[in-house]
Structure formats: C-alpha cells, structure tokens
Amino acid sequence: MNPVSLITRKRDGATLAASEIADLIAAYTRGDVPDYQMAAFLMAAFLNGLDTEEATALTKAMLHSGEVLDLSDLAGIKVDKHSTGGVGDKVSLILAPLVAACGVPVPMISGRGLGHTGGTLDKLEAIPGFNVNLSIGDYRRQLERIGVVMMGQTAEIAPADRKLYALRDVTGTVESIPLIAASIMSKKLAEGIDALVLDVKSGRGAFMKEEADARKLAETLVGIGQSVGKPTIGLLTDMSAPLGRAVGNWPETAEAIQILRNETPAGGAVDDVLEVTLALAGEMICLGGVASSPEAGIQTAKHALESGLAFEKWVELVETQGGDIAVLDDPEARVGAQPIAEILAPASGYVAEIDPLELGLASVRLGAGRTKKDDEVDPIAGFVLNKSVGSPVEAGEPLVTVFASDPSRLDTEAVQRAFTITREPPPAPPSRLIGRFDGVKWSA
C-alpha cells in the first residue's frame, strides 16, 4: 500500500477500492502512515467526496480497527444517542441519566470538542475528579450496576476514529458528510449498543449549515445503522442560535445540573434545551422497550425529571466515576467558577439574532476549545447569555457573563458582534425540532 498513490488518486477524483481504504486506515492506526499524509488524504476526501461504497468501507475499517464490544449478556435494550455537535449543546449530560432513570441502559461513549463546538468529555471533566478514562471491564460493570456510563474512547474501541477525530479538528476537514458519518457510526457500532438515536443539527452553529446537507447526513447515518441491524432514528434539530444560555465546558455543565435539579439556570429559562432533550429521550425510551411510542416516552421522561429520579441517577453516575458531588448541590461554588467580566449591550431594543458560530469561535479563543491537536482546554472558560432571541434589552445592560482562567483571551468585540439588536421585536423563535427520519420517510 502506497499512501502517496492513494492521496494523489483521491486528489484527482478517483474512487478507491474498499481494500485500499482498509489498508490505509490499518496502516495509519499502526503508526505506519504519519499525520501529515493522513491530513492530505482527509483534505482530498473532503474536497472530492467519498461515494457510498467508499464511505461504507471507511466506516467498517474504522469500526474494525479495534474491539467491537458485545453487551448481549447484560439485561435490557441498550440505547445510545449521538449529536453532530452544536454551540451550547449540553443535552447528553441531561439525557444519559434521564433515560437511565426511566429503566433504559445507556452506554455512552463520547468525544472531545470539535471545531467551534464543545465535546461531552470536556464538559464531564469540568466536574472535578470525573474520570472518563474507564477500562472496558469498568464500562461493562458500571452499565450492569447503575444502568449508565459516560466515557471516552479507549485504545480498544475504534482507535482509528480517535486518531482521525483529533486530526480533523485541526486540519479544516470537519464538515464532510462521509467523514462525519464514518466517525460517528464506527464509534457507536463498536460500543455494544442495540439501538441508536441521532441528533443531526442544521444551521449556522452546526457543521451542516444547510438543511439539505443535514438531511443527507441524517439519512446516511440512519442507513448505516439500519444496514447492520441496529434500529436507528434521526432527529433534525435547529442550530441557528446557541442551545440554552450557556456556552463553554463548566458553564454548560452547570446549566445541565440546574436542569436536572428541575431549577431555572442562571441565565434564564432554557425551554429549547428541554424541548430537544425530551424529544430524544422519548425516542430512546421507546426504542428501549419502556414506552409504547416516542410520545409516551416523553411523558415518562418528564416524570423522571420532575420527580427527581433523573437527578438521583446523575448523582450516582458522577459519584461512581469519581466526580465531586458537592458541585452538584451548588454549581456556583465550584473553584474558579466565578465570573470575570460582563459584556454590555451596545444599544437598546430587542435581541433579533444570536450568532452561534461567532460565539463558538469566541469561546474557543477564550480557552474552551482547541486550535491545535494537543491543546488543553480551560474547563472554566465560557459564557452565560443573559438575553435570548426576542428578549428586550437596554443599552449598557449585561448581555453576557464571562468565565475564564485567563481574562486576556476574551474578545469582547466578537461576542458583541454575535448579537443583532433591532428596534422592533423579532418573530417568536421556531421549534428546535425540524424533522424525524425513520429510515423510510421524513415526518415533522
């Protein structure tokens, strides 16, 4: 296998054989192909695309680069969820304990921040002591004992994806449907799930900016899942504004904690977060056999939230994985989690738009994300939005509360640019839920 030949052919628009892709991924996983050559291949694939057969071959090569887990000896239908990433998307932190509290086992293997979006692992590690680096044995035992586990990829699970994920983040090759699909499905199919629910995001804060591209990605992902016998549902959700009020690792984790405690988060109501979370929970609870329909699953999930069962499961999860449960009772008491600045409104009127991409990039510059493969994130860095789309605002009123370990990294002007303020109130924001794909057809 000559990597230069494969890179050149893909650069020139050729279609590669499944065996060639398998050999390339195996060699990269072994370390025989360096990052700079794989970066060149990724860019060639990004620019010229991968057809269905190439994308399937890439998924299988990444899936079988490591161990494919078998959890069939554990009770229950194991269901996971994956989001394609968005600004302020802390849904997994709420969803995993919520669904587990309803009786559906949730084995969740997540990733780091990618591009301008945050990662579930970075948010979990913002909880002091929380250990996402579990062994496969610990993963199985915890799932059997408490019904939920949230961890990162191990050396055994899709090691090719772990390497490629980090490389794509810093080489401008994130927004590619086949690369995204192969990354997601290789990891999810390796973790031993029985069913999967996908949150595919569309809009300026998503990797898929156009709804047509997001629909195509959802169809690709659902198709891969169902082709290997895993019931898979895709929800298309809107990411034209940040989800919720918090952006950044600890700010988002604190918001998730407050939602699980059935409290209003610091910045104000977060109905959009609850809307997306409950829709995904309903699908997972239905696929898990606990509810007869997604609608019934939503009612089950609401009860678990309102009764405190979801928060109890969250505390159990955090404690089991070594996290400091004291911060669950008082998120504002976390060491270092005190605001360092407020960004003020430049004019009076109404918040007509909040640009999630601008805020996401500003949060990365603040330290919440990575610009190089080996960067360490600042777990504190991020924003709490004091205003949402449609909110009235007065000039000089605080728009955003800032958290960071290094105040010099704050780009105040970029954060202000994210807000469009108009004299007239904008229309009410639409639902975050755009559509649902079951493998056959789309529905509202």
How many residues belong to the chain? 444
Average pLDDT, the chain: 93
Can you tell me which residue has the tokens 């493998």?
A: 439
CATH number at residue 222: 3.40.1030.10
317 and 253 in a single domain? The answer is yes
342 and 379 in a single domain? The answer is yes
Q: Is residue 72 in a domain?
A: no
Question: Which long-range contacts does 220-225 make (Cβ < 8 Å, 24+ apart)?
Answer: 220/55, 220/177, 220/178, 220/181, 221/181, 221/184, 221/185, 222/198, 222/437, 222/438, 222/439, 223/439, 224/56, 224/59, 224/181, 224/185, 225/185, 225/188, 225/189, 225/196, 225/198
98 and 230 in a single domain? The answer is yes
Residue 372 has pLDDT above 80, yes or no: no
Nearest to 80, CA basis, from 102, 109, 60? 109
Residue 256 has pLDDT above 80, yes or no: yes
Is 168 an active-site residue?
Answer: yes
142 and 183 in a single domain? The answer is yes
CATH number at residue 372: 3.90.1170.30
Structural element, H or E, at residue 363? helix 356-363
Cβ atoms of residues 37 and 4 within 8 Å:
yes
Query: Which amino acid does the sequence have at 98?
Result: L
95 and 208 in a single domain? The answer is yes
How confident is the model over 153-187, as pLDDT tens digits?
787 888 999 899 889 988 999 888 999 899 889 98
Residue 386 has pLDDT above 70, yes or no: yes
153 and 237 in a single domain? The answer is yes
Radius of gyration of the chain (CA): 21
Extended beta strands in 355-395, E state:
382-385, 392-393
What's the pLDDT score for residue 114? 67
Number of domains in the chain: 3
Question: How many DSSP H helices and E strands does the chain contain?
Answer: 17, 14
Cβ atoms of residues 134 and 141 within 8 Å:
no
323 and 397 in a single domain? The answer is no
Q: Is residue 35 in a domain?
A: yes
Can you tell me which residue has the tokens 């738009």?
A: 353
Q: Is residue 428 in a domain?
A: no
What's the pLDDT score for residue 370? 80
How confident is the model over 346-368, as pLDDT tens digits?
999 999 999 999 999 999 999 98
Whole domain around residue 397: which residue ranges? 335-422
Segment 234-248 shows an average pLDDT of 96
Q: Kindly name the residue from 183, 202, 240, 363 that is annotated as catalytic.
A: 183
CATH number at residue 28: 1.20.970.10
217 and 307 in a single domain? The answer is yes
42 and 158 in a single domain? The answer is no
What pTM, to 2 d.p., does this model score? 0.90
Q: Kindly name the residue from 80, 122, 161, 169 that is annotated as catalytic.
A: 161
Q: Kindly name the residue from 10, 81, 82, 112 that is annotated as catalytic.
A: 82
Nearest to 382, CA basis, from 205, 207, 253, 271? 253
Spatial separation of the C-alpha atoms in residues 82 and 95, rounded to whole Å: 11
CA angle 358, 364, 366 (to 5 degrees): 100
User: Tokens at residue 123, please?
Assistant: 């948010």
How confident is the model over 282-341, as pLDDT tens digits?
999 999 999 999 999 999 999 999 999 999 999 999 999 999 999 999 998 898 889 999
Is 64 an active-site residue?
Answer: no
Which residues are paired to 169 by β-bridges?
none
Cβ atoms of residues 404 and 380 within 8 Å:
yes
Q: Is residue 59 in a domain?
A: no
Cβ atoms of residues 72 and 107 within 8 Å:
no
Q: Is residue 278 in a domain?
A: yes
Q: Is residue 427 in a domain?
A: no
Spatial separation of the C-alpha atoms in residues 369 and 384, rounded to whole Å: 16
Q: Kindly name the residue from 187, 188, 215, 230 that is annotated as catalytic.
A: 187
Spatial separation of the C-alpha atoms in residues 115 and 356, rounded to whole Å: 13
Q: Is residue 274 in a domain?
A: yes
Segment 26-49 shows an average pLDDT of 96
Q: Where are the alpha helices (DSSP H) in 126-199?
A: 136-146, 159-169, 177-190
What's the pLDDT score for residue 77? 98
Residue 374 has pLDDT above 90, yes or no: no
346 and 320 in a single domain? The answer is no
Handedness of CA 221, 223, 228, 231 (dihedral sign): positive
Query: Which amino acid does the sequence have at 299?
Result: Q
Cβ atoms of residues 351 and 337 within 8 Å:
no
Segment 228-234 shows an average pLDDT of 93
- Phi and psi torsions of 52, nearest 5°: -60, -45
213 and 339 in a single domain? The answer is no
Which residues are paired to 152 by β-bridges?
110
239 and 320 in a single domain? The answer is yes
- The region, left, alpha or beta by phi > 0 then psi within -120 to 50, assigned to residue 256 is alpha
What's the pLDDT score for residue 112? 77
Is 116 an active-site residue?
Answer: no
How confident is the model over 428-439, as pLDDT tens digits?
999 999 999 999
Question: What's the half-sphere exposure (Cβ side, CA atoms, 13 Å) at 398?
Answer: 12
Q: Is residue 87 in a domain?
A: yes
Spatial separation of the C-alpha atoms in residues 217 and 227, rounded to whole Å: 15
